[in-house]
Amino acid sequence: MIANLGLGILLVTFIVTVYSAVTAAASNPKGLARLLRSLPSLRAKRFADELEKLETPQRAASMAESARRAMLLTFPLLTITSLLLIYLLVNDHYEVQFVYEVTSRSMPTYLKITAWWGGQAGSLLFWSWLMSAFASLVTLRKWDRDREFLPWVIFVSCVTLAFFVGMTAFFENPFRVFYQTETGVEAHFFQPANSTPFTPEDGRGLNPLLRHPGMIIHPPLLYLGFVSYVIPFAFAIAALITGRTDDRWIRLTRRWSLWAWLFLTFGLVLGGRWAYDVLGWGGYWGWDPVEIAAFMPWLTGTAFLHSVMIQEKRGMLKHWNMLLIILTYDLVIFGTFLTRSGVLSSVHAFAQSAIGPLFFIYIAITLIVSVALVIYRWGELKSETEMNSLLSREALFLFNNLLFMSILVVCFWGVIYPLTSELFTGSKVTVGPAFYERANGPLFAGLMFLMGIAPLSAWGHSTVKTLGRAMWLPTVAAVLVTIAIFVTYTHNVYALIGFFLVAFVILITLYEYWRGSRARMKIHSENIFTAFWNLTARDRRRYGGYIVHISMMLMAIGILGIELFQMETQGTLEVGQQKSIGGYDVVYKDIARFTGPDGREVTRAVLSIYRGQEYLGDLHPRIDYYWDSQQSMTIPGQRATMKDDLYILLVNWEPAAATGATFKIYVNPLVNWLWMGSLLFLIGIIIAAWPDKDPERIAVRAGRRARQASAAD
């Protein structure tokens, strides 16, 4: 019953979204008419004339309002659908196929709830739910001055929503129910003839690898990031259709793209943390196609974040920004598709389905239509100023964009290389992590260098001389730091280049902070802390951005450490024996096998860690074996410090054999800086994105008050 109700509401939601999209588009016949005129067809022109006759202000307003209300309706509808699904999940309704696939009786309730996005059908519903929430949020803003955008923002949101809701309703429906027919058990929406309802005893349970706190937050964060990018895209399309091609759409969505970027970045970092904690191979990032799929919109999103500043400040790169946000949107859809469809076999390939072609068609259509719109408005998107100096800030931002695009090209090449090489040479060739590391390494180094000098360059014009004067002091300091690292830590050239760039960026950024604060101290006679505080508060976007830069450098320290200096050893130990690595002595103490709360069989070893004579504590690597899915998980024992992580895996232990237990031990230097950096990143982005009082509305309010005052005179 409940499953049928869910199905019904889902279908209603689909109709509502389609209605909203159509009404929103129709509420603006002039815009449509103008688009139709550009088509080289007489009939289209005649139809455009008819359309223009239809336009009356009242009619347009009431239709837009109707579209808006319909769109607002999708959020409660999808919320009810989701609650129904959660109800089914939590209450063990295994007659529902989706519930059977992702939960089992032994799972705790919170995992049954998160199983919502543990399977394909549920996660598409989750995507739609987020989309409807964000679209509704957008309409809460004051629209007085941007009335013409509204219908088109609703239109784009609802087309996207209709695609995902339609996909959920017609192809990946979580509300299919099992029936016993003559030929066997089948899943259907409605009871077929000659069949009886069928309820399995227990579900298959969520993939054990996904039963981890990191896996609970990682997908929602990624999805939050993905879905947030739809909003700037919707505004960009609205700007293109209405012809309001100034930077208004960018200013309105600046915060959306910042939050989107925050969620996406944090989702990626958490995914890395999950891999580090659960997958048991000592790493955090494997250049897996699915990881790359989530990384590609991050690249274009980051480039977008930077290049919109040039448009706001200098009125340049307007075409480029449009193309970037279109690309980001389609990469978001592509990323959702890759993670959900299982086209590329990888760790994430638990999702297999037939929705692939639909995704490709949708991506192709949106890409073609959006790019066509940009070409249609090409003339109106001309730059207002010209780029003169190679070292000006806008030029450096442009190079930054080129580098991000280059990394994107590298990643895209790596993902599609197997397909293209098969097409052209017949033999299927793949590229591994080494390809990405080699090709991207120099590009990342270039980005770091730009991150160092760009904040010092001026808009419009900079020369080597002005730049040099601003940066010689931090540069000398960075060289000294690098020499110190050379003497005390490593002679590895790549590491030294990396650490020099890290020091270079951090020191220049801190130097900028210090110069700014000192200026305030002099002018406003503030003490250093107030000056620092006010400096940040006055230009939060800039100084929040600097904090993000520093956090990226901290992450770079972690990445350099684990990539270049990871040590590993492996061996079989008997109780009492020890193994040494990287200054640690690891003594194997004990091992036990017992049954865990949810039926898993746990094999847990106890190892004591010493550095020389000093006892540092015990570690407990373990293997969890899940009988219900016949799959095991290797959970490392970790001891984390800022200097390095000791990371021990229990590889094998046979209770019957007297051969002892086998361990694999890693020392991962500096990797903790990666996680610390991500926390600082959070702070920086919140500073940059925290809403301030809308200056325009304050101005409006002040104006009204002034008018009232003059009326009272």
Residues forming a β-bridge with 579: 586
Q: In terms of CB distance, is 101 or 148 closer to other proteins? A: 101
Contact letters for other proteins, residues 342-381 (x by CB under 8 A)? ---x---xx-x-----------------------------
**Among the listed residues 90, 323, 481, 651, the single contact to other proteins using CB under 8 A:** 651
**Among the listed residues 15, 419, 429, 484, the single contact to other proteins using CB under 8 A:** 429
Q: Which stretch binds other proteins (CB under 8 A): 142-150, 163-171, 325-333, 632-640?
A: 632-640
Q: Which residues contact 513 (CB under 8 A, 6 or more apart)?
A: 532, 535, 543, 546
Q: What is the DSSP string of 126-181?
A: HHHHHHHHHHHHHHTS--GGGTTTHHHHHHHHHHHHHHHHHIIIIIS-TT-EEEEE
Contact letters for other proteins, residues 483-502 (x by CB under 8 A)? --------------------
Give CA–CA dist 277/506, Å, rounded.
29
> Shortest gap between Cβ of 687 and other proteins (angstroms)?
32
**Among the listed residues 18, 363, 431, 521, the single contact to other proteins using CB under 8 A:** 431
Residues forming a β-bridge with 609: 586, 617
The reply to whether 418 sits near other proteins by the rule CB under 8 A is yes
The reply to whether 605 sits near other proteins by the rule CB under 8 A is no
Phi, psi of 526 (to 5 degrees): -100, 160
**Among the listed residues 58, 182, 194, 201, the single contact to other proteins using CB under 8 A:** 201
**Among the listed residues 14, 75, 100, 116, the single contact to other proteins using CB under 8 A:** 100
**Among the listed residues 338, 649, 671, 689, the single contact to other proteins using CB under 8 A:** 649
The reply to whether 578 sits near other proteins by the rule CB under 8 A is no
- What one-letter code names the amino acid at 437? E
**Among the listed residues 19, 143, 360, 413, the single contact to other proteins using CB under 8 A:** 413
The reply to whether 191 sits near other proteins by the rule CB under 8 A is no
The reply to whether 194 sits near other proteins by the rule CB under 8 A is no
Q: How many residues bind other proteins (CB under 8 A)?
A: 65
Q: Is 2 exposed, middle or buried (0-12, 13-18, 19+ CB in 10 A)?
A: middle
> Shortest gap between Cβ of 72 and other proteins (angstroms)?
35
The reply to whether 658 sits near other proteins by the rule CB under 8 A is no
The reply to whether 133 sits near other proteins by the rule CB under 8 A is no
**Among the listed residues 106, 139, 207, 534, the single contact to other proteins using CB under 8 A:** 207
Is 107 within 8 Å of 115 (Cβ atoms)?
yes
The reply to whether 215 sits near other proteins by the rule CB under 8 A is no
Q: Is 695 exposed, middle or buried (0-12, 13-18, 19+ CB in 10 A)?
A: exposed
Q: What is the DSSP string of 536-598?
A: HHHTHHHHHHHHHHHHHHHHHHHHHHHHHH-EEEEEEE-TT-EEEETTEEEEEEEEEEEE-TT
Residues forming a β-bridge with 666: 568, 647
Q: In terms of CB distance, is 19 or 417 closer to other proteins? A: 417
Sign of the torsion angle spanned by Cα atoms 362, 368, 374, 376: negative
> Shortest gap between Cβ of 320 and other proteins (angstroms)?
13
In degrees to the nearest 10, what's the CA dihedral of 408, 409, 413, 415? Answer: 10
Give the distance, in angstroms, between the CA of residue 703 and the centroid of all CA atoms in the same chain: 41
309 closest CA partner among 251, 262, 264: 251
The reply to whether 180 sits near other proteins by the rule CB under 8 A is yes
The reply to whether 341 sits near other proteins by the rule CB under 8 A is no
Find the largest Cα–Cα distance for the chain.
Answer: 99
266 closest CA partner among 689, 635, 693, 692: 689
The reply to whether 391 sits near other proteins by the rule CB under 8 A is no
The reply to whether 442 sits near other proteins by the rule CB under 8 A is yes
The reply to whether 117 sits near other proteins by the rule CB under 8 A is no
Give CA–CA dist 287/128, Å, rounded.
28
Q: Is 330 exposed, middle or buried (0-12, 13-18, 19+ CB in 10 A)?
A: buried
Q: In terms of CB distance, is 35 or 402 closer to other proteins? A: 402
- What one-letter code names the amino acid at 255? R
Q: In terms of CB distance, is 534 or 596 closer to other proteins? A: 596
Q: In terms of CB distance, is 439 or 496 closer to other proteins? A: 439
The reply to whether 662 sits near other proteins by the rule CB under 8 A is yes
Q: In terms of CB distance, is 429 or 537 closer to other proteins? A: 429
Q: Which stretch binds other proteins (CB under 8 A): 95-103, 324-332, 501-509, 545-553?
A: 95-103
Give CA–CA dist 396/458, Å, rounded.
10
The reply to whether 593 sits near other proteins by the rule CB under 8 A is no
Q: Which stretch binds other proteins (CB under 8 A): 249-257, 267-275, 594-602, 652-660?
A: 652-660
Q: Which two tokens stand for residue 617?
A: 């504590």
- What's the Cα-to-Cα distance from 662 to each of 275, 574, 619, rounded to whole Å? 22, 9, 15
The reply to whether 316 sits near other proteins by the rule CB under 8 A is no
CB atoms inside a 10 Å sphere around CB 248: 16
The reply to whether 430 sits near other proteins by the rule CB under 8 A is yes
Give the distance, in angstroms, between the CA of residue 426 and the centroid of all CA atoms in the same chain: 35
Q: In terms of CB distance, is 350 or 513 closer to other proteins? A: 350
The reply to whether 182 sits near other proteins by the rule CB under 8 A is no
**Among the listed residues 299, 403, 451, 562, the single contact to other proteins using CB under 8 A:** 403
> Shortest gap between Cβ of 4 and other proteins (angstroms)?
20
The reply to whether 186 sits near other proteins by the rule CB under 8 A is yes
Q: Which two tokens stand for residue 392?
A: 């000006």
**Among the listed residues 8, 108, 200, 468, the single contact to other proteins using CB under 8 A:** 200
The reply to whether 383 sits near other proteins by the rule CB under 8 A is no
**Among the listed residues 438, 522, 697, 707, the single contact to other proteins using CB under 8 A:** 438
Identify residues 532-571 at the interface with other proteins (CB under 8 A).
570-571
> Shortest gap between Cβ of 632 and other proteins (angstroms)?
4
The reply to whether 580 sits near other proteins by the rule CB under 8 A is no
The reply to whether 576 sits near other proteins by the rule CB under 8 A is no
> Shortest gap between Cβ of 431 and other proteins (angstroms)?
5
Within 229-247, where are the H helices? 230-242
The reply to whether 56 sits near other proteins by the rule CB under 8 A is no
The reply to whether 416 sits near other proteins by the rule CB under 8 A is no
Is 324 within 8 Å of 235 (Cβ atoms)?
no
168 closest CA partner among 228, 98, 106: 98
Q: In terms of CB distance, is 376 or 399 closer to other proteins? A: 399
Q: Any idea what DSSP says for residue 455?
A: G
Q: What is the DSSP string of 607-661?
A: EEEEETTEEEEEE--EEEEETTTTEEEEEPEEEE-SSEEEEEEEEEE-SSSSS-E
Q: Where on the chain is the footprint of other proteins (CB under 8 A)?
A: 97, 100-101, 178, 180, 184-187, 198, 200-201, 204, 207, 280, 345, 349-350, 352, 386-388, 390, 395, 398-399, 402-403, 406, 409-410, 413, 417-418, 427-432, 434-436, 438-439, 442-443, 570-572, 623, 629-634, 649, 651-652, 654, 659-660, 662, 664
